[in-house]
């Protein structure tokens, strides 16, 4: 059984990634925080007595379920949100962080400039990950960010291993193409 310390350590280790995944999915930080909190409550209340080794996969599945529940509850609203965010012009600083680059940054030190550029690259990657189709993004993040194997990813997503491989491959190619078009080299 997971002790309180083990559960606390586990949640502290996954909460930021969980939050980011929720943000990618629902595109709203406030809702994403609610989703992560909901997932944390569920794993603590219902599975708090499970062994610590079982927690990662359980939490992954709970988080995906809570995200799906969120979409089910607010289907109409999310449809509009998705529509508007898809139509958001590129001058949105969140959608295109490169445009926030300040041309008058000559006074900055080189290291500061490098850090800033890296932050912009990270922001672009996050924005492009968020633009992936939901299932592709889910598969890509579970497989490559959460480090689940194909079978675990398939179990968490409720689909076949073949589908996971297809989703991951498509996501990788779409992401690489989008980053290349935006001039980002990894």
Q: Which residues bind other proteins (CB under 8 A)?
A: 1, 4, 7-8, 11-12, 15-17, 19-20, 29, 33, 36-37, 40-41, 43-49, 118-119, 121-123, 125-126, 129, 140-141, 143-145, 168-169, 172, 175-176, 186
Tokens in use for 88?
């958001």
Tokens in use for 96?
């295109």
Tokens in use for 27?
């595109």
Smallest distance from other proteins to CB 173, Å: 9
User: Which residue, 121 or 154, has its beta carbon nearer to other proteins?
Assistant: 121
User: Which residue, 129 or 156, has its beta carbon nearer to other proteins?
Assistant: 129
Torsion of CA 170, 27, 30, 117, to 10 degrees: 80
Smallest distance from other proteins to CB 129, Å: 7
User: Which residue, 80 or 144, has its beta carbon nearer to other proteins?
Assistant: 144
Q: Is 83 exposed, middle or buried (0-12, 13-18, 19+ CB in 10 A)?
A: exposed
User: Which residue, 1 or 87, has its beta carbon nearer to other proteins?
Assistant: 1
Smallest distance from other proteins to CB 79, Å: 26
Smallest distance from other proteins to CB 148, Å: 13
User: Which residue, 35 or 154, has its beta carbon nearer to other proteins?
Assistant: 35
DSSP string, 114-181: HHHHHHHHHHHHHHHHHHS-HHHHHHHIIIIIS---HHHHHHHHTS-HHHHHHHHHHHHHHHHHHHHH
């Amino acid at each position: 059984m997971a002790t309180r310390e083990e559960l606390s350590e586990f949640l502290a280790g996954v909460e930021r990634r969980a939050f980011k995944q929720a943000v990618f999915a629902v595109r709203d930080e406030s809702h994403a925080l609610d989703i992560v909190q909901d997932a944390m409550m569920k794993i603590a209340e219902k599975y708090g007595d499970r062994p610590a080794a079982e927690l990662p996969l359980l939490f992954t599945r709970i988080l995906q379920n809570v995200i799906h529940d969120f979409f089910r509850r607010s289907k109409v609203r999310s449809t509009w949100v998705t529509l508007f965010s898809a139509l958001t012009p590129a001058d949105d600083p969140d959608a295109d962080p490169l445009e926030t680059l300040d041309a008058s940054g000559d006074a900055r030190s080189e290291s500061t400039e490098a850090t800033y550029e890296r932050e912009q690259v990270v922001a672009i990657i996050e924005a492009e990950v968020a633009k992936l189709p939901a299932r592709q993004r889910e598969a890509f993040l579970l497989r490559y960010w959460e480090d689940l194997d194909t079978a675990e990813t398939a179990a968490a997503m409720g689909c076949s291993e073949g589908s996971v491989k297809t989703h991951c491959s498509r996501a990788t190619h779409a992401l690489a193409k989008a980053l290349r078009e935006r001039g980002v080299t990894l």
